[in-house]
Amino acid sequence: MAENKEWEKPVEKKGWFHIVLRCPPLPPILQRLTVVLVYATLISAFGSSFQYGYNVAVVNSPSPFIQQFYNATYLERYGRPIEANFLTLLWSLSVSMYPLGGFFGSLMVAPLVNKLGRKGTLLFNNIFSIVPAVMMGVSEIAKSYEIIIVARFIVGICAGLSSNVVPMYLGEIAPKNLRGALGIVPQLFITVGILAAQVLGIRNILGNSTGWTLMLGLTGIPALIELLLLPFFPESPRYMLIQKGNEKTAKKALQRLRGWDNVDAELSEMHLEEQSERAEGRLSVLSLLSQCSLLWQLISVIIMNMGQQLSGVNAIYYYADSIYASAGVKQNDIQYVTVGTGAVNVFMTVAAVFIVEATGRRLLLLCGFGICCGACVLLTVALNFQESMTWMPYVSSIASVIVYVIGHAIGPSPIPCVVTTEMFKQSARPAAFMVAGSVHWLSNFTVGLVFPFLESGLGPYSFIIFSFICLFTLVYIWLVVPETKNKTFLEVSQMFAKRNKVEIKLGDGDL
Ligand SMILES: *[C@@H]1O[C@H](CO)[C@@H](O)[C@H](O)[C@H]1NC(C)=O
């Protein structure tokens, strides 16, 4: 493809996207959001983050039909119908192999982004989407449920990689003033991906006995689009400059991204940033674990991430339909309720960006976990009174799931990551995020694997467990986690000093 000279020109200042992202008054030189930057953002977010969300919710609506397929396949192979417990096991494996893959994917991030680059990793990552998409697409013809389980694992690797690499790529191609705004884009596309899977899962669209293979396989399409289009966009200039030492390519990439020729100032700024980071050094995960002065910060990060996942949010996306069904919601209505929660989630994710900036972290965490706890109790009550009253459980189960989604979107979902950034200084941050990421994926895996058994064992009481976990996390945050907004790293460590049993002296280089 010939170099499109349109990209080189400064962007028209009247586009809606430009206006939206310009809300705070910016110095004129930083205002430009170039076409290259916008498309690179949209393509990488659609090709990677969207897909991540899509695969979270894709197993929800078609699950009865996929389970029928498992049952029929088993019957054909062994000449007897599948046992209910074994089917539950196969199904919960199919769901939870995805976050397990995500765990392994997140471990592969560091070596891959350094070897292949940010854009390179995103392109390479499409293998982990296109291959399993084909596998899931042919699983029915091949008469094998093992294929689906393995494919879910591989597509999980894709999610684990993209959940880390997209924010990194966007953070490095964005000009400083747009980093925050572009930082929301991956999160937004994840929720849109969840919504897309819920919409496609409507019975008349693809959530039926013939459509589910296509629905599972569709995840390859965004990957294919990314694979075809992203090569035309620049690699992260920071990566080219610092890891590759290739000043010429870095400069060219930056010129295309910024839409003007004079990028020397920004290049030297990158050099400076790199030098100060190198001077500070980088903590490994092991040395982070052994630092007394960071012990309770690390425990807090672990508890917050466990709370985020074990509060059951993904149980709702993976298994929403069966939750509604057990609350007596009519089969035909379930699909629209599910789509409704997805839409609420998208809306709240956008709203949360503004709320998080305006309010303290601690308050939002406490409110969020409190709301989730209450919603779980309400849901339990609704599920229990299902037989004695007709409309009450119906309405309140829907209401409690929606309230839960709102509560989770304002606190437990976005804040742990913000607090992790604020609790650790630059040198310890990568290791802290590594720990947080591992806890996130493994807790997510646990919920996906255990929930179906919980549901069949405890019935209407399964959500009580989630409400206890929310309550526990809430109490922990109440007692231990201080407000970190607008605090320097040193101030945060002083607040933790007593608990960590270390003394923090001013001026010991931590500023
Ligand atoms: C499997 O299919 C058979 C026959 O179609 C049915 O009777 C049985 O209930 C199904 N088993 C499960 C666990 O759904």
The domain boundary residue, chosen from 233, 264, 296: 233
Say which CATH number the domain at 323 has.
Answer: 1.20.1250.20
Site to probe by mutation for ligand 1, drawn from 69, 74, 77, 82 as the one with most ligand atoms within 8 Å of Cβ, is 82
Say what the pLDDT of residue 506 is. 56
Say what the pLDDT of residue 388 is. 67
Residues 80 and 204 occupy one common structural domain: yes
Atom 9 (ligand 1) nearest CA = 81
Residues 221 and 324 occupy one common structural domain: no
What is the tally of structural domains in the chain?
2
Residues 218 and 318 occupy one common structural domain: no
Contact criterion met (CB below 8 Å) for 199 and 207? no
What are the b/e assignments for 290-306, b being 16+ CB within 10 Å? eeeebbbbbbbbbbbbb
The domain boundary residue, chosen from 171, 198, 233: 233
**Radius of gyration in angstroms for the set of CA atoms belonging to the chain, rounded to a whole number:** 24
Residues 229 and 314 occupy one common structural domain: no
Q: Give the distance (Å) from ligand 1 centre to CA of residue 74.
A: 10
Task: Decide if 59 is inside a domain.
Answer: yes
Task: Decide if 257 is inside a domain.
Answer: no
Residues whose CB is less than 8 angstroms from the CB of residue 414 and which lie 6 or more positions away in sequence, other chains included: 187, 349, 352, 353, 356
Pocket of ligand 1 contains residue 87 by CB under 6 Å? yes
Task: Decide if 259 is inside a domain.
Answer: no
Name which of 432, 368, 421, 376 is nearest 399 in CA terms: 376
| Cα–Cα distance for residue pair 448/91, rounded to 1 Å | 10
Task: Decide if 16 is inside a domain.
Answer: no
Number of the ligand 1 atom closest to the C-alpha atom of 83: 13
Residues 226 and 287 occupy one common structural domain: no
Number of the ligand 1 atom closest to the C-alpha atom of 87: 13
| pLDDT tens, residue by residue, 394-414 | 788 889 999 999 999 999 998
Which domain covers residue 429, as residue numbers?
A: 283-511
Task: Decide if 17 is inside a domain.
Answer: no
Helices and strands in the chain, H and E counts: 24, 0
Q: Give the distance (Å) from ligand 1 centre to CA of residue 75.
A: 9
What pTM, to 2 d.p., does this model score? 0.90
Name which of 261, 36, 29, 31 is nearest 170 in CA terms: 36
Residue 218 above 50 pLDDT?
Answer: yes
Task: Decide if 15 is inside a domain.
Answer: no
Residues 461 and 328 occupy one common structural domain: yes
| pLDDT tens, residue by residue, 142-153 | 999 999 999 999
Say what the pLDDT of residue 13 is. 41
Pocket of ligand 1 contains residue 66 by CB under 6 Å? no
